[in-house]
Structure 1
């Protein structure tokens, strides 16, 4: 009996150690980062859509994070991101963050754009925005473009200011002279005119710039706020390498 006691104790101790080891957590595995879904109002087949996708595909490749893209109308895009239905958006103005507390601005602009009133009528002249209400002109803006909405809606009654959902709709209204002016972004107007449908269109010009060129920033939903700093650093490096402009030229060449 006495000779079995030490052995029994050793067996009991071994069993206890095995049980303890089984209770310990498994070694942590490196979790694959979640796919980031970026939204845009630019279709993948548009020149701007191709340009933007190349920028962000390369940026997130460098970050080692899978990425997908989703397309929405401008207004719905804003609502979807606010609600966390997607993780981020290609670009918005700096002040956009103030009205959207659920979002985080990535503190590195991708590029700058010019907001302006465009026209197809060579006879129109407008020296100052304050002169616009005194004209008989009817115009349009793209729904969801905040600078245009905030600038024109206080100036003009609703019967003189309609809304469109795409730059193409606005350009068509200009070309058939349904409107005298369209409030848009120079990049959007440039992009539309790169497409085969509008390649030969001439006579579209800036009637009046609205302020100075505006830098545009990526935005993320706050649930992905940890990506803001590394994404900013990556975009800054890509700009230093000349990639942003190179991707723009490559995208335009596909439509030439």
Structure 2
């Protein structure tokens, strides 16, 4: 057993040294019109990659463009993605450590119809993010009338103006974007669907997966996920 442990340690050390000096470009899903920056996630990924000697740069793209480019090898990876969405991309593999659990919720304006479960979306004009295949699939299955938007702020404004009945999206990002409208009486439903998300890379970087897995598990054990993703504390993974 000791020999195996020593071999594994030497393997990870040598692999990290061999990667020193590499720069990988990571695609990030843009959900905010004014400023597409997810600083917390950038810091998390910089730490994880830094532990294996790889520098990272970030490119923000709307919809599924970061996944398309990762699949074609134009980008090295994508920040955080639902594995169900990734399944249709043959050249993308996930690092098998869930980094985050988010929920899909419905947002309405106080005084309008409340959403208690997915069936309540039936017949409602429902805003969904373009490229959010899970939200689109679930809302469609609930017989909602879909209106695709590029940014959550756009959907929130449409709610305020009465041009949407409901906005259906990831709770964490909704709450962050709702901070731009402090005087609006939004009503947020209970969690309607839970999703675990992972970091994914192009398969040409398959050799990085065990190294990044190790980095992420170390960071979870060290409590660094809470440091980097503090606003999402209730949704962070537990110590492995």
Same-fold status (TM-score > 0.5): yes
Aligned position for 2:78? 89
Which 10-residue stretch deviates more, 32-41 or 198-207? Answer: 198-207
| Aligned pairs, number | 214
Does the 8 Å contact 2:100/2:197 carry over to 1?
A: yes
Deviation at 1:156, TM superposition (A): 3.4
Please state which structure has a larger fraction of its residues in strand.
2
Match of 1:217 among 189, 198, 203: 198
| Alpha-carbon spacing, 1:103–1:241, altered in 2? closer, same or farther (3 Å) | same
Mark the structure with the bigger radius of gyration: 1
Q: Who is 1:15 aligned against?
A: none
SS class of match (1:95): helix
Equivalent residue for 1:234?
215
* Preserved CA contact (<8 Å) 1:110 1:217: yes
| Structure 1, unpaired ranges of 5+ | 1-29, 252-256
State the partner residue of 1:152. Answer: 139
Q: 1:177 to 1:98 in 2, by over 3 A?
A: same
Written as runs of structure 1 = structure 2, the 5 A alignment for 1:100-249 is 100-133=89-122, 135=123, 137-156=124-143, 160-194=145-179, 198=180, 200-207=182-189, 209-211=191-193, 213-249=194-230
Q: Which has the higher helix share?
A: 1
SS at match of 2:113: coil
- Give 1:59 shift: 1.1
CA positional deviation for 1:46: 5.7
Task: Kindly report the root-mean-square deviation, in angstroms, between the aligned alpha carbons of the 2 structures.
Answer: 2.6
Identify unmatched segments of 5+ residues in structure 2: 1-17, 233-240
1:144 aligned counterpart, secondary structure: coil
How far apart in 1 are the matches of 2:231 and 2:36? 9
How has the CA–CA distance of structure 1 residues 250 and 150 changed in structure 2, closer, same or farther, with 3 Å as cutoff? Answer: closer
Q: 1:193 and 1:123, CA in 2 relative to 1: closer, same or farther beyond 3 A?
A: closer
Inter-partner Cα distance in structure 2 for 1:31 and 1:249: 30
